[in-house]
Structure 1
Amino acid sequence: MHDNILDIIWNISLICPWDCEFCCTDAVHVKSMNGEIIAKEHSLRSVHSVDKQLIEIFQSKYPDINPTKYDLALLDRQLLGKEPTYEEKVSILQHLKGYEVKIDFAGGDPLACYENFLIIKKASEIFGKESISITSTGVFIKRYGIEEVASIIGEYEFTYDQAPLGTQGFRPAGYNFSNLKLASEFATLGIRTKAQLPLHSQNFSKDNAQAIYSELCKHNIDEVLIMRLFPVGRGQGNLMNSYISKDKLILGIQNYKALSREEGTKVRLQCALRHLLDVSDSNPCDLMQGSYGINFSGKLLISAWANNSMGRPLSEDFVLGDLKKEYFKHISETEKFKRYTERLDENFGHCKVFAYLASKNKNEDAIFSNLDPIYV
């Protein structure tokens, strides 16, 4: 671990208005249909009707707030024991104290539910706004007001992997455009902005890179993070036509890096790609080197990407502890935590999630195997 620093991605809830085919967390898609509130989970195959009578329980907690279908869907999941209560989420924040903490709130959509907005606000109060970022689709910004959201975050992150005028493929209509539009408004307010761009078959080419990068510069986006497309979450069964070869990954990286200029959007590589072009003495994989994930149920994971097609951890091998009940400090003193820390360089440069997925034997050793496909 890097001294006292924790860089955490907290997928605070699975509730989401979008149904992206390759969602890396298997978010719960909530929508209205024939007068009912419908929630789809488990790769969108499990359909559940949310009881609208839950409005009475919600308003007993937040009498001045008119609940949305997303608020009621979250409350429904909490009553079923599927997601932590407000009090348990506050406990998670308390259990991170004593460290220099940076939290990126993601999901689902972290702003879909009023209660999670309150948690983000409390995190900002505890750790300072410069330590807080959100990765959001922007749909819910209007509910709170962009100035209010800007007052509690230091950075706004968003997915942007296809230019607005291009074919949107496996993204819902309007997804990329609405993300970019809101990010541009945050940039105007002086908030740092970062686009997350997973490389795939529809954005690695020179023409696609030029179109996407031009839009990012035009909207004054500070940085774009070039990423790998992870076959996790809902993506485990929906990515076969989207993967690109190692050679095309390298070409895609080169296409974007060639566009980067001092006065424009900066291009940076995700840790899972850095070893392709930059071989150094320092392990580019930041897993457990300050970087961790917290999933929607409050479990501390070695990686925020370690999700299966049901939205749960890929296996217990990726779970370090339960932050609803335990302090991070206590978890870091466990035998498992210490053992993992000692093994981090066994597969130097490899992404440990990809290494695990490529292994026939799904166990602890698979995480530290030299089987990441693009480095084998």
Structure 2
Amino acid sequence: MDVIWNLTRICPWDCAICCVTALHACETTKFYLKKRQKDYGMELSLAEKMQVLKDFCDEGFDIDFSGGDPLYYSEDMQVVEQATVWLPASKISVSMTGVELTERKIELLRKVKNVEFTIDSLPEVQNFARPTGYNLSSIVALKECIAAGIRTRAVMVLYPLTMKESNLRSVYKMLCELEVPEWELLRFYPVGRAKRFSRLVSSKEDYLKTMALLRTFRGPTKIFFQHSLRMLEGDGVCPAVHKAFGILPDGNVSACAWAINVQAQPIDDCFRLGKMPEQKIGDILKAAQKRAEYRHDAHESRIITWLGKRSDNHMKIRTIQCRSVLTKSNLPKVDYCVNPYVGCLHACVYCYARFIRRFTGHGEPWGHFLDIKLNAPEVLARELAKKPRRGTVLLGSVTDAYQPSERKHRLTRAILEILLKHDFPVSILTKSDLVVRDMDLLKQFSDCEVGLTVTSTDESVARSFEPHAPSPKKRIEALGTLHQNGITTYAFIGPILPELTNLELIFEAIQGKVNFVMAESLNMKCGNRHFIETVLSAKYPGLLHAYMAGFNKGYWDEVEVATEKLAAKHQIPHKGFFHH
């Protein structure tokens, strides 16, 4: 039986994709954090850890000490040192960072089977997932361990940036030159702090393609794959409970070491097995193996299956009752706004409407929640019955009125029927071709315009920045259908993504389908910078430096002129360029 034991959540690094959501510490905070974790019952005391260790050793388990950094604190080192007394070296591994590799640590590491360091890329590669200096620190520590005669292993987590052939080859070449014996490739799990980076999960085909490529590498460093990758090829069963389990800093036992939420707790009760040292591990596992979910072999990693059942990536969708829905607007040429939903499941990376989380109380990331205002049509009818001044109503100022949930709940359609009855002008801006469904109503308005956002005609760019929105092709086709039926249409080209938005191709695609066009610069001052950086690092690393440096007013003035020229060339009226 293999145990992955996260001795502590505390770590000198602050990795964006940390599965245990490690608490970042430095010399001035490390002891305060340790005390606080213990005071609040979030980490076992030294005596309790020794009890747990004795239990594992009595059972003869193989232990991988992990974290956090399991050797960052002297007392945690005592636990590992005691393990080398009670267990043979062949049963002990340590997964650590490269910080403070002291003589005491070197001496300890000589007594274990393997020491693992994670290296996702070479130090000169910009990688959003790891702090500056992380990979370099691991490489330096790896060299020191090899020089000291310690058996080492390098580990890499596979996500789009690390799966690039150039990255794989450069890291493997370095490992061979250092004479590192083994290199293990791990699957990326959107758990812990990495939960917000679910878009980095690769497809089965991409994983298999990467594995096939790696098998062509030739050198002294042996390459092998984590069980969840091998299982993609039909090799083996999930080891959870029967061959492996995890234990968290507070003593909670998890069926899968990767099934961890942002509080460093089992991600779901189905993975929660028991609590040590109050319970003996033998009793915990015996009870777990009788549970229905662990009685039979699973030919897919159980955490992957669990995440797959939540393919909406933990999206929280609920129905609510609202008190008002018609709000006055400060937007140009718009008198009122109506938002049938709170939040937006299109999850656009650049969206600056995420600011509403400050007022709604949602803890979920932007794009992961949706409140459905079930009574919005009735509330609007009451508000219009009071005869407010007639004015243009924008449907969807901080949401998209054509959410996927609109197919079922039809709130926007009901709202359109009420606005039509009161003869209020309507303006719609959406990313969804579902708007075509309501064409029969839209044609009856005396004053109505429909815009669809197009940031790129490139499907791969759209998937990267607008992961759950309908494709650009569908949006442009919707513009054409509405336009042919006499509805005023426009394309909203925004935000323009430098080097990724091809304005010429967009104008060619929308020609004959719109009455006018509007455009907007990229706004990176509204809490979206980190998310844009994440996508660029993974998909377009060559553009990362330019985006992070920012684009000045002169740049956007030139883009505005280019947009106006293209509009004139294609004989499409240009009605404005919004600067941020």
**TM surpasses 0.5:** yes
Is residue 23 of structure 2 the alignment partner of residue 28 of structure 1?
Answer: yes
| Aligned mates of 1:26, 1:90 — CA distance in 2 | 24
Which residue does the alignment assign to 1:55? none
The Cα of 1:288 is off from its aligned counterpart by: 2.1
Q: 1:236 aligns with which of 192, 195, 204?
A: 195
Equivalent residues in 2 for 1:129-144, closer than 5 Å: 129-142=89-102, 144=103
Task: Give me the TM-score of the superposition, normalised by structure 1.
Answer: 0.78
Which residue does the alignment assign to 2:277? 324
RMSD: 2.1
Equivalent residues in 2 for 1:9-88, closer than 5 Å: 9-31=4-26, 37=28, 69-88=29-48
User: In 2 relative to 1, CA 175–360 (structure 1 residues): closer, same or farther, beyond 3 Å?
Assistant: closer
Larger relative contact order (Cα-Cα within 8 Å, sequence gap ≥ 6): 1
Which residue does the alignment assign to 1:148? 107
The Cα of 1:218 is off from its aligned counterpart by: 1.4
Is residue 168 of structure 2 the alignment partner of residue 209 of structure 1?
Answer: yes
Q: Is the 8 A contact 1:260 1:267 kept in 2?
A: no
The residue type paired with residue 70 of structure 1 is K
The Cα of 1:189 is off from its aligned counterpart by: 2.5
The Cα of 1:302 is off from its aligned counterpart by: 0.8
The residue type paired with residue 95 of structure 1 is D
The residue type paired with residue 73 of structure 2 is C
Counterpart secondary structure, 2:98: coil
Task: Give me the TM-score of the superposition, normalised by structure 2.
Answer: 0.51
| Aligned mates of 2:109, 2:311 — CA distance in 1 | 46
The Cα of 1:74 is off from its aligned counterpart by: 0.9
Which residue does the alignment assign to 2:290? 338
| Aligned mates of 1:71, 1:104 — CA distance in 2 | 24
| Aligned mates of 1:354, 1:297 — CA distance in 2 | 24
Aligned residues: 312
| Aligned mates of 2:293, 2:194 — CA distance in 1 | 28
The Cα of 1:152 is off from its aligned counterpart by: 3.3
Which residue does the alignment assign to 1:121? 81
Which residue does the alignment assign to 2:343? none
The residue type paired with residue 141 of structure 2 is L
| Aligned mates of 2:296, 2:181 — CA distance in 1 | 31
Task: Give structure 1 stretches of 5+ with no counterpart.
Answer: 1-5, 38-68, 363-376
| Aligned mates of 1:155, 1:360 — CA distance in 2 | 35
User: In 2 relative to 1, CA 328–183 (structure 1 residues): closer, same or farther, beyond 3 Å?
Assistant: same
Q: Is the 8 A contact 2:5 2:63 kept in 1?
A: yes
The Cα of 1:164 is off from its aligned counterpart by: 2.2
Which residue does the alignment assign to 2:53? 93
Is residue 142 of structure 2 the alignment partner of residue 177 of structure 1?
Answer: no
Is residue 176 of structure 2 the alignment partner of residue 224 of structure 1?
Answer: no
Q: 1:258 aligns with which of 176, 200, 216?
A: 216
Counterpart secondary structure, 2:267: coil
| Aligned mates of 2:15, 2:165 — CA distance in 1 | 25
Q: 2:70 aligns with which of 110, 116, 134?
A: 110
Q: Is the 8 A contact 1:308 1:314 kept in 2?
A: yes
The Cα of 1:208 is off from its aligned counterpart by: 1.5
Of 311-320 and 228-237, more deviation after overlay is shown by 311-320
User: In 2 relative to 1, CA 129–340 (structure 1 residues): closer, same or farther, beyond 3 Å?
Assistant: farther
Of 227-236 and 190-199, more deviation after overlay is shown by 190-199
The Cα of 1:300 is off from its aligned counterpart by: 1.6
The residue type paired with residue 257 of structure 2 is A
Deviation by residue 1:36-61 (Cα, 9 ceiling, x = unmatched): x5xxxxxxxxxxxxxxxxxxxxxxxx
The Cα of 1:328 is off from its aligned counterpart by: 1.6
Counterpart secondary structure, 2:57: coil
Is residue 188 of structure 2 the alignment partner of residue 248 of structure 1?
Answer: no
User: In 2 relative to 1, CA 286–358 (structure 1 residues): closer, same or farther, beyond 3 Å?
Assistant: same
The Cα of 1:87 is off from its aligned counterpart by: 0.6
| Aligned mates of 1:297, 1:251 — CA distance in 2 | 39
Deviation by residue 1:121-165 (Cα, 9 ceiling, x = unmatched): 1111111233211111120322x5443232332210111111223
User: In 2 relative to 1, CA 320–251 (structure 1 residues): closer, same or farther, beyond 3 Å?
Assistant: same
Counterpart secondary structure, 2:121: coil
Task: Give structure 2 stretches of 5+ with no counterpart.
Answer: 313-580
The Cα of 1:112 is off from its aligned counterpart by: 1.3
Q: Is the 8 A contact 1:209 1:255 kept in 2?
A: no
| Aligned mates of 1:147, 1:97 — CA distance in 2 | 23
| Aligned mates of 2:294, 2:33 — CA distance in 1 | 41
Counterpart secondary structure, 1:313: coil
The Cα of 1:70 is off from its aligned counterpart by: 1.9
User: In 2 relative to 1, CA 361–339 (structure 1 residues): closer, same or farther, beyond 3 Å?
Assistant: farther
| Aligned mates of 2:310, 2:135 — CA distance in 1 | 36
User: In 2 relative to 1, CA 109–14 (structure 1 residues): closer, same or farther, beyond 3 Å?
Assistant: same
User: In 2 relative to 1, CA 260–344 (structure 1 residues): closer, same or farther, beyond 3 Å?
Assistant: farther
Q: 1:355 aligns with which of 289, 295, 305?
A: 305
Of 128-137 and 224-233, more deviation after overlay is shown by 128-137
| Aligned mates of 2:23, 2:61 — CA distance in 1 | 28
Q: Is the 8 A contact 1:14 1:28 kept in 2?
A: yes
Of 7-16 and 186-195, more deviation after overlay is shown by 186-195
| Aligned mates of 1:72, 1:313 — CA distance in 2 | 25
Amino-acid identity (%): 29
Q: 2:3 aligns with which of 8, 28, 37?
A: 8
Q: Is the 8 A contact 1:199 1:229 kept in 2?
A: yes
User: In 2 relative to 1, CA 295–128 (structure 1 residues): closer, same or farther, beyond 3 Å?
Assistant: same
Is residue 260 of structure 2 the alignment partner of residue 307 of structure 1?
Answer: yes
| Aligned mates of 2:74, 2:169 — CA distance in 1 | 38
